[in-house]
Amino acid sequence: MTSVCPHCGWPDEQPFAVLSQHRTGTGLTVWSRCACGSTQIRETGVAGTRIISRGRPTQAPQNPPCAA
């Protein structure tokens, strides 16, 4: 896989953080987080690795509520 995150350019080959992984009938499903905070679901099997789904980066609230 030679793709990069469309949000920040981080290489997809190097997940920033692995959140969860489990075996399925098609191989291994891995949930990971990119450096920008977006999440990915990738599937690794006999045919190689492919990204099934990709989320958007996390964003801090513009006006966080003040502590009371």
**Tens-digit pLDDT profile for residues 3-14:** 899 988 989 888
pLDDT band at 15 (very low <50, low <70, confident <90, very high): confident
Mean pLDDT (whole number) for 34-56: 90
Note the pLDDT of residue 65.
58
Does residue 15 form part of some domain?
Answer: yes
Does residue 62 form part of some domain?
Answer: no
Does residue 36 form part of some domain?
Answer: yes
Does residue 61 form part of some domain?
Answer: no
Does residue 13 form part of some domain?
Answer: yes
What global pTM score does this model have? 0.72
Total structural domains within the chain = 1
Distance CA 10, CA 1 (A): 13
Domain span including residue 32: 1-55
Residue 44: is its pLDDT beyond 80? yes
Residue 67: is its pLDDT beyond 70? no
